Amino acid sequence: MTIAEVQNEIIDEFSMFDDWEERYQYMIDLGKTLPLIDEQYKTDDHIIKGCQSKVWVHADMKDDKVNFTADSDAIITKGIIAILIRAFSGQHPNDIIKADTDFIDKIGLKEHLSPTRANGLVSMIKQLKMYAIAYQTQLK
């Protein structure tokens, strides 16, 4: 699946819920399915700066595709990073770099986050794209 296809799937899933309480619960459930980061990567080097909660992300590349694992000490934040990883993991670095993130607005996530969590969301996206940029330069 392309990033856009995965993002559209996420939009469709969130549109099934009538209110944000249900959507938050769904995000929490998604967080429980997150491919967890190996404990050795739960270090300051892997923490996303700018997040209110602790969020650790690790990336590696196999067959020219970037694969992400993550964890967080907060259930909502864990759900947010799970959504982002679902959209971007297993994709080519260049596709991650070029990908739009307007699906976040389409599911209404940003408007339902506190300002500090919204800043954290932006930091998470930025970090995932930075990993992709690093791996893209290795491919050249």
**pTM of the model as a whole:** 0.94
So where are the chain's domains?
3-139
The radius of gyration computed from the CA coordinates of the chain, to the nearest angstrom, equals 14
Annotation marks residue 110 as catalytic:
no
Closest CA to 93 of 41, 129, 123: 129
User: What dihedral do alpha carbons 112, 107, 57, 42 form, nearest 10°?
Assistant: 40
Structure confidence at residue 15 (pLDDT): 95
pLDDT means per 10 residues, the chain with 140 residues, are: 96 93 94 90 92 92 96 94 97 97 91 86 95 88
Which CATH code, of 3.40.50.300, 3.90.1010.10, 3.30.465.10, 3.30.1130.10, is assigned to 3-139? 3.90.1010.10
**34, 48, 51, 82: the active-site residue:** 51
